[in-house]
A = this chain, B = another copy of it.
């Protein structure tokens, strides 16, 4: 496998608007595993250098996504290759660590969803925004338990369409609305449940733009606002104000009016004070514990 191919894959991850943060983090690990096995290297030291370079490039692709940072960091910590190691053994170690983290990430998502499903219980209407693979898993767990859903289109790319399609397949009665109607519909839900791209050190939640508006409306109408994501999404305490990724303005599909700047910031930050509870693979964390 050539470096050119890895560069293509890095570019793909950078441009990906469909997959969530956890999935992209696992994709990074899977690229590292492949690189560990296949990158040309004359000895363990060269392999180590090349893999660290690749990991650094991967980390730069999605600065707003904590799991990408966290899982790559964990991989670096657990895969330190001694210069004296045999090349084959070094390849084996680095690849195995990446694979183990992929498994851990998948298990964390599944455990998260189990805790969230238990917290919500049967016969509930949940409202969500954007498409989170964790929230999707919660819906799958509750689909035969009388779940109902209120979902948003989630401009500009309308990930809500994929969610609507999946919920339709599962037979979950679903209401599909524009993002602007969130304030009209939140009071019809028993709870809001969103995923997260990152959870900051103070419990604030970085998620698809619009999440903050939904959280404000939920608080105003007395509806609990739950955030469900595995702990790989938590940023370290040293995280300063995070960079919010901005995507191509062409995604809004409007003409180029002179003097008009089209903005397309993908994420917003919901302060911890608006979060009723955080759910991760270890269980439910209520604010008293959190703050």
Contact = CB atoms under 8 A, between A and B. Distances in A.
A154 interface: yes
A205 to B, nearest CB: 12
A185 B213 CA distance: 12
A155 B174 contact: no
How many copies of the chain does the oligomer comprise?
2
A6 B182 CA distance: 37
A171 B209 contact: no
A164 B264 contact: no
Nearest to A185: B263
B213 A173 contact: no
A260 B167 contact: yes
From DSSP, what is the main secondary structure of chain A's interface residues? mixed
Contacts of A182: 213
Contacts of A158: 254
A261 interface: yes
Interface string A182-223: 111100000000000000000000001110110011001000
Contacts of A175: 260-263
A174 B263 CA distance: 10
A168 interface: yes
A84 interface: no
A286 interface: no
A229 B81 CA distance: 69
Given A164-B257, A171-B259, A252 B176 contact: yes
A282 to B, nearest CB: 30
B180 A259 contact: no
A159 to B, nearest CB: 11
A14 to B, nearest CB: 21
Contacts of A185: 263
Contacts of A258: 168
Given A178-B179, A180-B208, A212-B183, A153 B254 contact: yes
Residue of A161, A168, A175, A212 with most chain B CB atoms under a 10 A cut-off: A212
Contacts of A154: 180
A167 to B, nearest CB: 7
Given A176-B252, A213-B216, A259-B172, A184 B264 contact: no
5 contacts: A168-B258, A171-B259, A181-B210, A183-B209, A216-B217
